[in-house]
Each structure stands twice: as structure tokens, then as C-alpha cells.
Amino acid sequence: MPFPFVCKAVDVILDSAMIDQEFHRIKRLPPYVFAEVNAMKARARAAGEDIIDFGMGNPDQPTPAHIVDKLCEAARNPRAHRYSVSKGITGLRRAQAAYYERRFGVQLDPETEVIATLGSKEGLANLASAITSPGDVILSPNPSYPIHAFGFIIVGGSIRSLPAEPGPEFLAALDRAVRHSVPKPVALVINYPSNPTAYVADLDFYGQVVDFCRHHGIWILSDIAYSEIFFDGNPPPSILQIPGARDVAIEFTSMSKTYNMPGWRIGFACGNRKLVSALARVKSYLDYGAFTPVQVAAAAALNGPQDCVDEIRQLYKERRDVLIEGLHGAGWKVPAPPATMFCWAPIPPAFAHLGSVEFSKLLLTEAKVAVAPGLGFGEHGDGHVRIGLVENKHRVRQAVRNIKMFLSNYDKVLEDSEKKRASAT
């Protein structure tokens, strides 16, 4: 009988069509901008080339010894090998609350206003899924760290971009966005000190944002993952220092940069009780929290000596100064960042027409220096590249020498580049 064979053929056709179809949420994500540059970097290294990698914001120094020692001590306790607590162990949440009081003068209830996350990125993404309905409008700076926008895009939100720099233009754009968006925006994401731009905000700016969002009923998600990496002697503030901020605001922090703990995946969300509760509820379905010894060690980091934080901050400052001085000497006028572990570098005028991806590829092939294309942080970042301060001073100086030679031969480099592009098309 032919009928079973017909059904089988139809099944094959249907299966093939289903396999070829893109998943709905994946379709909302554009191609990964960094992928092409990363692939070129991998090929160059495989060929034995010495690539100086400023592309990732990945601290290159070890976690301080006393934190590692506490991890080892806690890991020897068999009871610590069991499931942990999704919102974080009590001791860790208390340590974070103590940090906020010590650093910002803000008192938090560790039971209702603090939750531990698997890094600030996980917390932002899971809160986005907790508070966003399909079609909701979210306000986010552009350029900005990708999760600030894509955490909401993945769950069906729509992004309306704002200027990245805090100040009058931001506030004016915020007002326009609320008056002209349908439906009304649900939430505003802000990030100061900023990745990738290194912009910093002051309490006056935060006060205006809080007043505006309270008046219009808009949630504020503030990311201060780089609040301890600053260079001008003026510690960046917390939005929770503003009276009434906790009516609408939640703030995300991370231990990744402050204590050289990126792979440990420990961060926090603090502030508005409703938002903390919403995040806790979503997380309770998704994870059991970080490994308990990691949380114990994180609490020891927050409660222990802070000399290591000063040393980490000084290390980045020294690297920043060497890089900026060297680039200026090479003719590339890059502003010195007041905070973060990044320099937000405008593409030199002679190469501006290329855009950030092609310029990054040229730096990689001609100067053996890898950077992050600004386009990866939003279309308004395409005139810049992000340079991470994640190589030692010797390597930074080497990179500057390579870049200086590259820029001094830019006529020939551009001519060769145009020929390659023409032949490729």
C-alpha cells in the first residue's frame, strides 16, 4: 500500500521545513557584530600571529588571594555542595546591604531589597522577562551594553533609543519619548559609568531622572557595574541615593570588575521591592543560585579588606594613562575615560568613512591589535571603537607602537584596503 510511504514523504518535507524555519525570538536578534572580527582574530592567532587583544572587557588579573582562600575553605564543607538559594544566601545579601550603606549611605533591607544574581547581565535579562509584555516600549541609551536593549527585545519588547551621554539632550529626548510613544514606555535603562562610552552621571542628573519617572510611572533599571573603577577621585554615585528613587528604581551591580571575579558570576539587584520580588520569582523557576562556596567567598570580598579594590583601580588608571598618552603621540586623539576599564575611541578622520567594523579589521590585520567595533553597541556607536584596558603596560606600549606605524602609513593602508574590497565585490 502506497499510503504509508506518502505520509512518510510528507513528514520528511514538514520536518525539513521546520528545521529551516528560524525561531521567533532568534529572528529578533541581528547577526553578532563582533563575530567577524573575532573569527579574524582566531585565524590570525592560529597562524602564529601575536595579537594584542583589547576587544573583550575581561579582567586579566587574578582574583585576590583572600577571596580564593575563602572559596577553598567553604568548598571543603560537604554541606556547601548542596543546592543553594536562588535569591542568594543571607550572609551575602547582608554583605551587599552593608556595602551600600558604607559606600553610598543607602540603607537596604537585605530580605526585601537585595537579591544576588549570576552577574548583573543575568539579573537584567531575567528582570526584563519578568516585567515586559509583547509590544511594551523600553527606553535605552544608544550606544549601550547589548543586554540593556536585547534583554527586552528577546522577550518581545520594543526599544526606543536615547542619547548615551547624561545631560540636557538625554532629558529632552526622554521627555519626547514619553510624549510620542504608544504605548507609554514601561521602563528606562541607564548605565553610568557607561559601557562602552565611559560617561559618568552625577546626583543632579539622577534626581531629574527619578522625578520624571516617578511622575510618569516608569521603572528605572540602573546598571552601575563599573562604579568602583574610577580615576578622578570622585566616586560615581548610586541612583538609590536620590530620595524617592526606590519607588521606581532597581540597581544592578557586579563583582566581576571590582574584585577581578568575572568568571565567578556574582552580581546583585537592589532597590524597589516590587522589582526585586519579581526578579526573585522568575529566578526561583530558573536556578538555585550560585554555588554556595562562591557566595561565601563573595561575602568575604565585600566584608573584608578593600586594598585590593584600590590596587585594581590604580592598575587600570596606569594602563589608561599609558594608552592615552601613546595614542595622542601617534596622532589619534582619544579622550581619557574618567571611569570604567574602556576607552571609547573616535575613529580617526582618515578612516571614518569605513565604519567601526572595517576599521577594527584594519587594526587587526595591519597593527595586530584587536578592538571592539562600536556598531556592536548600537548604530550610534559606529563612529567609535571600544578599547579594553585588559593588557599589561608592556603590551599597551607595544600596541601603541604598532598603531603609530599603521597610522603613519594610512595612505597606503587605505589604498590596499580599497583594492581588497573592490576585488571582493
Q: Please tell me the predicted confidence (pLDDT) of residue 30.
A: 72
Q: Which residue spans of the chain are classified as CATH 3.40.640.10? A: 83-304
Q: Please tell me the predicted confidence (pLDDT) of residue 27.
A: 75
Q: Please tell me the predicted confidence (pLDDT) of residue 410.
A: 74
Burial status of residue 365 (CB atoms within 10 A of its CB: 0-12, 13-18, 19 or more): middle
- d(C-alpha 4, C-alpha 9), whole Å: 9
CATH architecture, range 32-56+307-424: Alpha-Beta Complex (3.90)
CA 385 centroid distance within chain: 15
Q: Please tell me the predicted confidence (pLDDT) of residue 350.
A: 93
Give bridge partners of residue 158 from the DSSP assignment. Answer: 137
Q: Please tell me the predicted confidence (pLDDT) of residue 425.
A: 60
* pLDDT tens by residue, the chain, 425 residues: 555 555 555 555 556 555 557 787 777 777 677 777 888 889 999 999 999 999 988 999 999 999 999 999 999 999 999 999 999 999 999 999 999 999 999 999 999 999 999 999 999 999 999 999 999 999 999 999 999 999 999 999 999 999 999 999 999 999 999 999 999 999 999 999 999 999 999 999 999 999 999 999 999 999 999 999 999 899 999 999 999 999 999 999 999 999 999 999 999 999 999 999 999 999 999 999 999 999 999 999 999 999 999 999 999 999 999 999 999 999 999 999 999 999 999 999 999 999 999 999 999 999 999 999 999 999 999 999 999 999 999 999 999 999 999 999 876 666 666 666 666 66
Q: Please tell me the predicted confidence (pLDDT) of residue 29.
A: 75
Q: Which residue spans of the chain are classified as CATH 3.90.1150.10? A: 32-56+307-424
- d(C-alpha 7, C-alpha 119), whole Å: 49
Here the cell at position 295 is: 557566595
CATH architecture, range 83-304: 3-Layer(aba) Sandwich (3.40)
